[in-house]
Amino acid sequence: MAEKKIIIIGAGIAGLAAGCYAQMNGFQSEIFELHNLPGGLCMAWERKGYIFDGCIHYLFGSGAGQPFHAMWEELGAVQNRPMINHEEFMRVTSSDGKTLIAYCDPDRLEGHISEISPADAPRAKELAQGIRHFTKFDMSILNKTPRSLMGMQDWQEFGSKMTPFLGVMAKWGMVSAQDYANRFKDPFLRKAIPHIFGWPEITMMTAVMLLAYMHNKNAGFPVGASLEFARAIEQRYLQLGGVIHYRSQVEKILTEGHRAVGIRLYNDEVHRADYIISAADGRSTIFDMLGGEFVNRKIKRMYDGHLPIYSLVQISLGVAQDFSHEPHWVTYLLDQPMIIAGQKRLEIGVKNYCFDPTLAPAGKSVIELIMPTQYSYWKNIYGHRLYDTEQTQVSDIFIDFLEKVYPGIKGSIEVVDEATPLSYERYTNNWQGSTCGFLMTKQTMPMSVMGVDKTLPGLQNFYMAGQWVEPGGSVSLAAASGRNAIQLICHAAGKPFVSTTA
């Protein structure tokens, strides 16, 4: 009997993972990717000897024997790849020099916060205890097997691993970093705490779990940055016999009745298969490639714009100075707001990549600014000279600010690179340039815990994978969703799911 064929749309982490597991399970698979590189949003780019990373800040599964690590071994991503483990996640500094350090060690963090504000010692102890609880939590259990395929034994395992954490999940899951900061008495801590985990709306469960995994050395940074990480999975897929078609953008997913049967590219090529997986942008998949034919009220509601997404502007600098003695991530709180890209800013985050010497020539540094921005602001000026002017203006504001923090840096800058939501949209086709699908907040937390359907109503032989069906959008969850898609297909094809290590 001929092998059944799977077509996968998108060579991001989810699509590559789906391809790897498809090959492991005896399917013939092909990936169609609009860009000329693997990784999708897991990207980095080279400019004059500097490598600017646009994705990974930490990797769940970096530690041997810990949650998600086995999956990365199956995908060939972590073998012989050094991981950099930070003692601190980031710092927040006020204009008067007060600094909050988000230590990964809960004991150290508790002592540090209590030293800043003895009156907040009980709250510091509570936060540290939350981190300690989650050092024992196996987050991968949420994505080990699709809910629809879980049998009695799976549910028993799920229940045994989840039950001890139900209380702490209830306690931290529906509290945002901003909510939690408001409970502190010290004015500086109330300002600083919302910014130590990425965005003020992040749930505290996500925040304490992140620090717990970093403390366990299971959220390290893969040396070589995002593109090299993605290339390792690409090589694993190719070695397993998979095929990737780059510069091959899908226009339509073809259906016959209630079955997905193939795809049509923008060059009018038609490719048919037994199963279709879209690991591409969720909105364009459902409403453009499928014409909005297979939706219900719930799906329409998901994509009506009310759920939070994360569009960003990134300014990357190649600097002919060594900043390896400086902290790797600092958010500076401003006394007076600055207008950047049409929005008032009360903080500026600076990331220093000297911890990975492969990203810059010897004695030099990569410095980045990453901040949320409004997609509509950039969309309104795209295609006009003002767009380039505004990018330069944002870079100039950032550089002028850095000159105050690191006097003399301006004269050492060799490369300036700007990326806006339109850059991400152009290279990945992601809705509004979103970098992580739906943002992880109190609003989207239930979607993450309960899971999002990987199928569409009324359409057979079709599955979705990637950040749009995994709120929070980390690379680990994206890869797990690609794995889940193949588990579902194996079940539909009546064959056991298997996996092998590279």
Residue 329 pLDDT: 96
Give me the DSSP letters along 469-490. Answer: GSTT--HHHHHHHHHHHHHHHH
Q: Average of pLDDT values for 203-227?
A: 94
Calpha distance 285→470 (Å, rounded): 15
Contact 441, 174 (CB under 8 A): no
Element (H, E) at 74: helix 69-74
Around Cβ 83, how many Cβ atoms within 10 Å?
A: 18
Interstrand relation of 329-340 and 343-352 (parallel, antiparallel or unpaired)? antiparallel
Which ranges constitute the DSSP H helices of 325-373?
Answer: none
Q: Give yes or no for residue 309 having a pLDDT over 80.
A: yes
Q: Give the pLDDT confidence score for residue 487 in this predicted structure.
A: 96
pLDDT at 348: 95
411-454: pLDDT as tens digits: 999 999 999 999 999 999 999 999 888 887 777 777 776 678 89
Could you give the strand order of the β-sheet that contains 59-60, starting from the edge strand earlier in sequence?
Answer: 59-60, 219-222, 83-84
Q: What proportion of the chain, given as a percentage, has pLDDT over 70?
A: 99
Q: What's the pLDDT score for residue 1?
A: 52
Q: Per the structure block, which two tokens stand in for 161?
A: 């691993």
Angle between the N-to-C axes of helices 166-173 and 121-134, in degrees from 0 to 180, rounded to the nearest 10: 130
The confidence score (pLDDT) of residue 345 equals: 93
Helix axes 13-24, 475-493, angle to 10 degrees: 40
Residue 333: is its pLDDT beyond 80? yes
**Structure token pair of residue 307:** 């759920």
pLDDT for residue 49 is more than 90: yes
Average pLDDT (182-207) is 91
Q: In the predicted model, is pLDDT for residue 3 greater than 80?
A: yes
Burial of 127 (0-12, 13-18, 19+ CB in 10 A): buried
The rounded distance, in Å, linking the Cα atoms of 114 and 190 is 14
CA distances from 476 to 72, 154, 402, 420 (A): 8, 21, 33, 24
Query: Residue 2: pLDDT band by 50, 70, 90 thresholds?
Result: low
Low-confidence winner among 119-123, 135-139, 310-314, 455-459 (lowest mean pLDDT): 135-139
Q: What percent of the chain has pLDDT over 90?
A: 81
Per-residue pLDDT at 154 exceeds 80 = no
pLDDT band, very low/low/confident/very high, at 58 (cuts 50, 70, 90): very high
Q: How far apart are CA 494 and CA 460, in angstroms?
A: 15
| Three-class secondary structure of residue 199 per DSSP | coil
DSSP SS3 for 322 = coil
Predicted confidence at residue 446, as pLDDT, reads 74
Task: Give me the mean pLDDT over the 371-391 stretch.
Answer: 90
What is the chain's mean pLDDT, rounded? Answer: 93
**Computed from CA positions of residues 145, 150, 151, 155, in that sequence, does the dihedral angle turn out positive or negative?**
positive
3-class state of residue 426 by DSSP: helix
pLDDT tens, 293-304?
A: 999 999 999 999
- 470 or 296: which carries more pLDDT confidence? 296
If you average pLDDT over residues 172-195, what whole number do you get? Answer: 94
Separation of alpha carbons 489 and 41, rounded Å:
25
| CB neighbour class for 496 (10 Å; exposed up to 12, middle 13-18, buried from 19) | exposed
Taking residues 231-254, report their average pLDDT: 98
Q: What is the pLDDT of residues 336-353, one digit of tens each?
A: 999 999 999 999 999 999
